[in-house]
Amino acid sequence: MAEIIVGTIEDIPEGSAKMVTAGDREIAVFNVEGEFFAISNTCPHRGGPLSEGSVDGCVVSCPLHNWQFNVQTGQCLISSNIKVPTYKVEVRDDQIILIA
């Protein structure tokens, strides 16, 4: 598993996201009330960039067709059969570290 420095906690304000690349994967890192979570950046419906979607609490809505995902679990709220991969995130000092 690789550790990727996403940035500092100031780089991702509460209620927003940042896309990072880990090898050939795009991963969206979200700040939910000061806690950081990471899921695949690609919506399985039409490939929309989840990091560009609107965030309401721990739910992100895909900017293309409004499919919704829980950023903590990766679970799709539209269908219980759909889930995007999740990744571990740690905060060390002020640095956000993605473990992917």
pLDDT score, position 1: 77
Residue with tokens 């950023």: 71
Query: pLDDT (tens digit, 0 to 9) for every residue of the chain, 100 residues total?
Result: 789 999 999 999 999 999 999 999 999 999 999 999 999 999 999 999 999 999 999 999 999 999 999 999 999 999 999 999 999 999 999 999 999 8
What are the structural domains, with CATH classification, of the chain?
3-99 (2.102.10.10)
- Number of Cβ within a 10 Å radius of residue 93: 6
pLDDT score, position 26: 98
CA distances from 55 to 4, 28, 45, 85 (A): 23, 12, 18, 18
Residue with tokens 């919506």: 43
